[in-house]
């Protein structure tokens, strides 16, 4: 963590975890830790990274943003 005014703050992480809790964790009851891990992994890998668009990525999903970045590197 960094001090106030430092560019290395954790706003992005806080935003992600707030969204994860609101959309996934608070809507379910997990009986085991493994069940929670599997469900959260599926949320991140199957929905969040693939479908959810982000304003900081020019409204692209993380997967699409990385694909676009790789294509740019191949052109160089």
Tens-place pLDDT, residues 7-28:
666 777 788 888 889 988 998 9
Q: What pLDDT is recorded for position 70?
A: 92
Across 1-8, average pLDDT:
60
1 part of a folded domain: no
> Residue 41 — pLDDT band, cuts 50, 70, 90?
very high
Domain of residue 33, residue span = 11-75
5 part of a folded domain: no
pTM to 2 decimals? Answer: 0.57
The total domain count for the chain is 1
47 part of a folded domain: yes
3 part of a folded domain: no
66 part of a folded domain: yes
25 part of a folded domain: yes
Across 45-73, average pLDDT:
81
- Token pair of 7, please? 């560019």
- Contacting residues for 30 by C-beta, under 8 A, at least 6 apart: 36, 39
């Amino acid at each position: 963590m960094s001090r106030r005014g430092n560019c290395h703050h954790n706003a992005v992480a806080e935003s992600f975890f707030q969204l994860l809790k609101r959309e996934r964790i608070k809507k379910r009851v997990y009986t085991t830790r493994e069940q929670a891990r599997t469900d959260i992994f599926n949320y991140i890998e199957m929905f969040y990274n693939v479908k959810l668009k982000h304003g900081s990525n020019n409204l692209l999903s993380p997967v699409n943003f990385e694909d676009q970045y790789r294509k740019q590197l191949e052109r160089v």
